[in-house]
């Protein structure tokens, strides 16, 4: 029987395959679509939300408009824009960095279908 952590890991891998991204290969920057300012780097993702690594203390229960640019095989980037609410923010001990959890509130069109679709079969 699969544990909760194994299910989350499988879901995370499925989402990354859909996006064509490997966390070990890329740093995925997240930016504020209203200001264009970088906010942090994507640390984890699931169909319900994401965890961000940044150098700023992000207040809880705040709605953000974010964007990420995902690299593709042909060297171009695909932009995804979404809204997310900050849920928690933890300061990393002995460091200037923070980890912040967000819940997705709105992801438009094709991007939301990616997060809700069934897992893909991977051929080895």
- Residue-wise pLDDT for 76-94, tens only, equals 777 888 999 999 999 988 9
Length of the chain as a residue count: 124
How is residue 94 written in tokens?
A: 């002995």
Q: What is the pLDDT of residues 92-124, one digit of tens each?
A: 889 999 999 999 988 765 455 445 443 333 232
Q: What is the pLDDT of residues 31-75, one digit of tens each?
A: 999 999 999 998 888 778 889 999 999 999 999 999 988 766 677
CB 104 within 8 A of CB 114: no
What structural domains does the chain harbor?
Answer: 4-116 (2.40.10.220)
Quote the mean pLDDT of the chain.
Answer: 76
How is residue 108 written in tokens?
A: 């438009």
pTM beyond cutoff 0.85: no
Q: What is the pLDDT of residue 44?
A: 83
């Amino acid at each position: 029987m699969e544990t909760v952590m194994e299910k989350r890991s499988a879901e995370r891998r499925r989402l990354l395959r859909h996006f064509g991204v490997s966390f070990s290969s890329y740093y995925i920057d997240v930016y504020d679509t209203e200001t264009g300012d970088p906010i942090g780097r994507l640390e984890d993702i699931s169909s319900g939300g994401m965890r961000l690594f940044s150098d700023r203390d992000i207040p809880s229960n705040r709605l953000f408009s974010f964007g990420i640019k995902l690299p593709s095989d042909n060297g171009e980037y695909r932009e995804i824009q979404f809204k997310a609410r900050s849920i928690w923010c933890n300061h990393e001990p002995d460091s200037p960095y923070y980890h912040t959890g967000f819940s997705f509130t709105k992801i438009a069109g094709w991007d939301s279908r990616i997060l809700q679709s069934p897992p893909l079969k991977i051929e080895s």
